[in-house]
Amino acid sequence: MSATSASRTAVACTGVTKFFGAGDTRVQVLHGIDVEVAPGEITLLVGPSGCGKTTLISIVAGLLEPTAGDVRIFDRRLGDLRGDALVAFRARMIGFVFQQYNLLPALTAAENACLPLLVQGRRRSDAIREARELLAAVGLGGKADARPAQLSGGQQQRVAIARALVHRPRLLVCDEPTAALDAESGRTVMELLRRVSLDADRAVIVVTHDSRVYGYGDRIIEMGDGRVIGVSPAAGFRESHS
Amino acid sequence: MGWVALKMLTGDRAKYLGLVFGVAFASMLMSHQVSIFCGLMLRTASQILDVRDAGIWICDPELQTVDEIKPLADTDLYRVRSVPGVRWAARLSKALGRVRTADGRYRTAIVMGLDDDSFVGAPRQMLLGSWHDLRRPDGVILDDAGYSYLFPGEPIAVGKTLEMNDRRVVVVGICRVAAPFQTFPVMYCRYSQALQYVPHERHALGFIVADADPGADPAAVCRRISERTRLAAYDARSFVWLTIDYTMRSTGIPVNFGITVALGFIVGTAIAGQTFYLFTLENLKQFGALKAMGVTNKRILVMILLQAGVVGGLGYALGMGAASVFFEVTKDIYHLRGFFLPWQVAVGTAGSVVVIMFLASVVSIRRVWTLEPAIVFK
């Protein structure tokens, strides 16, 4: 990715290696990954299934520990954070959009969207008010009191995006956000993601193998067999893969 | 996050109600059965509990229960009276006799023969008449339950004539007493009358009831009576426990009730545990998402314990409410009276529900505690 100064780097992975299992079943999933992600951009992480995208994103998000190597998020070394400190860092700095949305079925859209604020100890009424504002920004102002079961897949994903952004994280991690959606809904979600999430101070990483969304990225990291095959501007990548 | 936990819990109505009613069922079964058991045990000692004016019971040393009587010699009364520390002592007989109504209906009755002079052991709660009326010729006091057995459907009244052992008996009073173990009428009369109403052996004196001098230690007086007379002497509480202990040792009642209570506990734990675990499994991804968003294991633990607490509290309240309603509704039914919900049972059931919910939530807590938040990307 970009070889920029530390202050211009949102995510820096150095020699990230990951093994799963032990003994005869020990499998190396990541082979010394070195990548950087810049703020103010949407970075797409692409590659075939099983190439290590999900493992890498889990490590970047602080959900998995690398077997070796180093991950820095806005100059903060994740390896220096342990237990509750890591959890608090994640709660403050990172927003998540999941493939299956993972909305709580018993909560309304506004209640789901305000969860990261509640995790940070905000008052429920304030948190719901802020969540409603963000839902309006993603075009769901009229659905704030609907439960997930009353929303379409695209609408649920928009609620998930509102949830991921409500606490103003500096890193947004999206795992296959369009995989469960039809083409039209996927396009809407990606347009929305680009419109509401891009910020000069925020980095967005989208894991995908949906070639339809390549046009919404600024930069693409291509992975294969646990390694980074290439890093290129999205425009060039689209042309070479069209 | 407690609010989120409660929303998650109540979101799936079917599972939520299943959990609550599972715990309610267990609470109801445990509290109801233990209360009935306690009531039955107290019934075995009801004639002891009804004698409130004597603190000491003297009987044959081999006696194991108030119902298994080996009569004492009449002279034993005077020997007991002579023991230092005994304030007074009086006769009391207890026997079974057959009582017959004018229209041929008959029942076996518990006949309590009271000391002719002092009437120690006379019923305290009189519904009609007075225990003084026992001085009247052939006068007996009958308990209201017994009256209803002998004269079903008739309002209680004095003046009814009965027959016992070919002798005329006149009901001069109606009392209310503790329900006996068997649903027999309880009849009070003078000791001298009782000898005529009930066929008896050479001796008829079942018990001597006594009281200690003011300031004297009843236990010490009992020991002294035993030493000097070679008779058994118990304070009333010990005599109650002697009878209850005999029933517990020599009948299958404790085992059978114990099995029912254990089943209530096991079924309650199984229903609550299984449903709670299924509920957690179905929400595993959501818990993973919460963990990814920064909810610590400690907060998840609190969330699950809160869910368990709410289910346990509601289930306990419903179960105890149902048990209380049962005892309230049945308290005036003669053959079901005497059963009640002791506070100790309520406390014990609450403890059992805490254990049930703890066991039910432990598996779920373990599952969520070890859950890798990275599961949300799978």
pLDDT per position as a tens digit, A136-176: 888 888 889 999 999 988 889 889 888 988 988 899 998 88
Does the distance separating the beta carbons of B12 and A106 come in below 8 Å?
yes
**B241 alpha carbon, distance to own chain's centre:** 13
Name the residue in chain B with its Cα closest to that of A106. Answer: B11
Rounded Cα distance between B50 and B176, Å, is 10
- Residues near A151 by Cβ (< 8 Å), separated by ≥ 6? A109, A143, A159
Is the Cβ pair B292, A90 closer than 8 Å?
yes
Residue A1 has pLDDT above 50, yes or no: no
For strand A203-208 and strand A11-20, is the pairing parallel, antiparallel, or unpaired? Answer: unpaired
Q: Quick one: pLDDT band at residue A4, thresholds 50, 70, 90?
A: very low
Answer with the residue of higher pLDDT: A238 or B86. Answer: B86
**How many residues are recorded in chain B?**
378
Nearest CA in chain A to B298: A84
- Say if residue A242's pLDDT is above 70: no
Give the distance from residue A87's alpha carbon to the nearest chain B alpha carbon, in angstroms.
5
A119 touches B292 (CB < 8 A): no
Q: What is the pLDDT of residue B222?
A: 94
| Cα dihedral B338/B339/B344/B348 (nearest 10) | 160
Radius of gyration from C-alpha coordinates of chain B: 29
Q: Is residue A228 classed as helix, strand or coil in its secondary structure?
A: strand
Q: How far is B259 from chain A (nearest CA, A)?
A: 40
Write out the E strands in B55-185. 56-59, 86-101, 106-114, 125-128, 139-143, 161-164, 167-176
Strands A203-208 and A171-175 turn out to be: parallel
- Of B181, B190, B198, the closest CA to residue B145 belongs to B181
The span from the CA of A188 to the CA of A161, in Å, is 12
Beta partners for B235?
B56
Cβ atoms B49, B121 nearer than 8 A:
no
B98 - beta bridge partners? B108
Structure ipTM: 0.82
Asked if residue B346 lies in contact with residue B320, where contact means CB atoms within 8 angstroms, the answer is yes
What does the pLDDT read at residue A237? 58
- Residue A96 to residue B293, Cβ atoms within 8 A: yes
Encoded amino acid at B255, one letter: V
Domain boundaries, chain B: 2-44+252-377, 90-209
Residue B180: which of B125, B110, B257, B76 has the closest Cα? B110
Q: Is B296 within 8 Å of A84 when comparing Cβ atoms?
A: yes
Domain range summary for chain A, segments of one domain joined by +: 6-241
Choose among A64, A92, A116: nearest Cβ to B374. Answer: A64
Q: Interface of chain A against chain B, CB under 8 Å?
A: 54, 57-58, 61, 63-64, 84, 87-88, 90-92, 96, 98-100, 102-107, 111, 115-116, 118-120, 124, 175
In chain A, how many H helices and how many E strands?
8, 10
CB contact under 8 A, A107 and B296: no
A84: closest chain B residue by CA: B296
Q: Taking CB atoms and an 8 Å limit, are B376 and A84 in contact across chains?
A: no
For residue A5, the model assigns a pLDDT of: 40
Q: What are A40's two structure tokens?
A: 């103010």
Spatial separation of the C-alpha atoms in residues A135 and A113, rounded to whole Å: 8
pLDDT at A240: 60
Confidence category of residue B99, pLDDT binned at 50, 70, 90: very high
How far is Cα of residue A8 from the mean position of the Cα atoms in its chain?
Answer: 19
Which tokens is A26 given?
A: 């020990």
Mutate to test the interface with A, among B13, B293, B302 (most CBs of A within 10 A): B293
Structure tokens at A128: 């719901």
State how far residue A94 is from chain B, nearest Cα, in angstroms. Answer: 8
CB pairs under 8 A between A and B: 77
Q: Which alpha helices (H) appear in A75-216, and where do they start and end?
A: 83-93, 109-113, 115-119, 124-137, 153-165, 183-197
> A54, A104, A117, A173: which to substitute to probe chain B, counting the most B Cβ within 10 Å?
A104
Q: How many helices (H) and strands (E) does chain B have?
A: 12, 10
Give me the sheet containing A27-37, strands edge to edge.
A27-37, A11-20, A68-73, A76-77
Dig out the tokens for A233 from the structure: 């501007």
Specify the DSSP element, H or E, that contains A224.
strand A219-224
Chain B residues in contact with A119 by the CB 8 A cut-off are: 1, 290, 293-295
**CATH assignment, A6-241:** 3.40.50.300
CA–chain centroid gap for B317, Å, is 21
Q: How confident is the model at residue B174 (pLDDT cuts 50, 70, 90)?
A: very high
**In chain A, which residue's Cα lies nearest the Cα of B289?**
A102
Written as one string, the DSSP assignment of A51-75 is SSHHHHHHHHTTSS--SEEEEEETT
Sort out which chain B residues have CB atoms less than 8 A from A148's CB and list them: none
User: Which chain A residue shows the shortest CA-CA distance from B291?
Assistant: A87
Contacts of A100 in chain B (CB under 8 A): 285
B301: amino acid identity, one letter: L
Q: For residue range A24-55, what is the model confidence (pLDDT) as tens digits?
A: 888 999 999 999 988 888 899 998 888 888 89
User: Which residues of chain A are within 8 Å of residue B10 when distances are taken between CB atoms?
Assistant: 106
Nearest to B40 by CA among B161, B168, B229, B178: B178
Contacts of A107 in chain B (CB under 8 A): 4, 7, 11
Instruction: Return the residue of A nearest to B13 by Cα.
Output: A106
Question: Measured between alpha carbons, how far is residue A118 from residues A39, A43, B287, B306 in Å?
Answer: 26, 29, 15, 17
Nearest CA in chain B to A112: B4
Closest CA to A117 of A101, A107, A130, A105: A130
Q: What is the pLDDT of residue A239?
A: 59
Q: Residue B267: is its pLDDT beyond 90?
A: no
CB contact under 8 A, B294 and A118: no
Q: Which residue type occupies A48?
A: P
A114 to chain B nearest CA, in Å?
Answer: 11
In chain B, the residue whose alpha carbon lies closest to the alpha carbon of A177 is B377
> Are residues B292 and A61, on separate chains, in Cβ contact within 8 Å?
yes
Helix-strand-coil percent breakdown of chain B, rounded to 5?
Answer: 55, 20, 25
Residue B207 phi/psi, 5° resolution? -140, 155
CA distance A184 to chain B (A): 23
What does the CA dihedral A163, A167, A172, A178 come to, rounded to 10 degrees?
A: 10
CA-CA-CA-CA dihedral for B271, B272, B276, B277, to nearest 10: -60
Asked if the model's pLDDT at residue B282 lies above 90, the reply is: no
Q: Average pLDDT of B289-307? A: 88
How distant is the Cα of B284 from the closest Cα of chain A, in angstroms? Answer: 10
SS3 (DSSP) at B47: helix
User: Which positions in chain A touch B288 (Cβ < 8 Å)?
Assistant: 102
Beta strand B139-143 with B207-212: parallel, antiparallel or unpaired?
unpaired
Report the pLDDT averaged over residues B213-236.
92
pLDDT tens readout for residues B22-55: 889 888 988 998 899 999 899 998 889 889 888 8
Query: Is pLDDT at B92 greater than 90 in this prediction?
Result: yes
At CA B309, angle to CA B308 and CA B310, rounded to 5? 95
A104 with B293: Cβ contact below 8 A = no
Q: Quick check: A76 pLDDT over 50?
A: yes
Mean model confidence pLDDT for chain B: 89
